[in-house]
Copies of this chain bind each other. A is one copy, B any other.
Amino acid sequence: MTAKITVEPSQKRQQAKQLREQQLLILAQQILQQDGFAGLTMDRLTALSSVSKGTIYNHFCSKEDLFTALSVDSLQRQLQLFQRALQIPGHSREQVLALHLAYHRFSMTEPTLFLCLLTATTPAVVEKSSPARLALRQQLELQLAAICQQLITAAIAEGSLQLAAGQSVDALAFVQWAQAFGANALLKPTQQLGLFSQLQPQPTMLLGVNLLLDGLNWKPLSSDWDYHASWQRIMTILATEAPGADGQLN
């Protein structure tokens, strides 16, 4: 599977190409932010970039492939945020909370990227994306899932969590993921939803996590620990840590 046949002369070209691809993706994001999803056309992307149409199609096999590429970008950023969140001191349940918070913060501070992730889930996009790019996305999703699984495994080893019958590390990771994805997807792009618009996002998010983890009997239970305080603590750390880290030139 790994290609050792490739020699190194073209190494630099490859790097330059990848850099240009990154610039195109940043440009696409800016267009999306300013003009909405209807405002992103290949013509506009070409006009605002320094390359020609043909070259853009050299990077992305279709407009949909561009969206999948943006979703890969989105997952990479998420992975960075997860790794930072794991550095925050605290017991295992607080670390789970940190992951949820990092995810939620991401969906709020970078709505465009999050919406790209949502869009890239759509069959219309999947159908017309390149297999290579879809594989890349899957690989990143696996890395994110692995982080969740490690946390769960560590909590079991440490004794704050015990698996009951019918539970598995994979299943627990999935349930967490589903909860986080669903809540963020419902909260962010649909502020017009009359009923849920009166809910405060952050306490609701915290409630969801607490219910799941209490249901698992993951210690310490929310009745024995002030997770609202944990949430605040983690949030201030995440907020001060990543002010102008990299990438986004707003």
Taking Cβ atoms with an 8 Å cutoff, the residues of A that contact B are 36-38, 115, 118-119, 121-124, 126-128, 134, 138, 141-142, 145, 166-167, 170-171, 173-175, 177-183, 185-186, 189-190, 192-196, 198-199, 203-204, 207-208, 210-216, 228
Contact = CB atoms under 8 A, between A and B. Distances in A.
A170 B185 contact: no
A37 B124 contact: yes
A170 B199 contact: yes
Contacts of A203: 166, 171
A142 B195 CA distance: 7
Q: How many copies does the complex hold?
A: 2
Contacts of A38: 124, 127-128
Contact of A121 (B36, B118, B175): B118
Nearest to A172: B207
A210 B165 CA distance: 13
Contacts of A175: 179, 183, 204, 207-208, 211
Contacts of A207: 166-167, 171, 175
A123 B37 contact: yes
Nearest to A67: B124
Given A171-B199, A174-B196, 19 more contacts: A36-B127, A119-B123, A119-B124, A121-B185, A138-B192, A141-B193, A142-B194, A166-B228, A170-B195, A174-B183, A174-B186, A175-B207, A179-B182, A180-B182, A182-B182, A185-B185, A211-B215, A211-B216, A212-B212
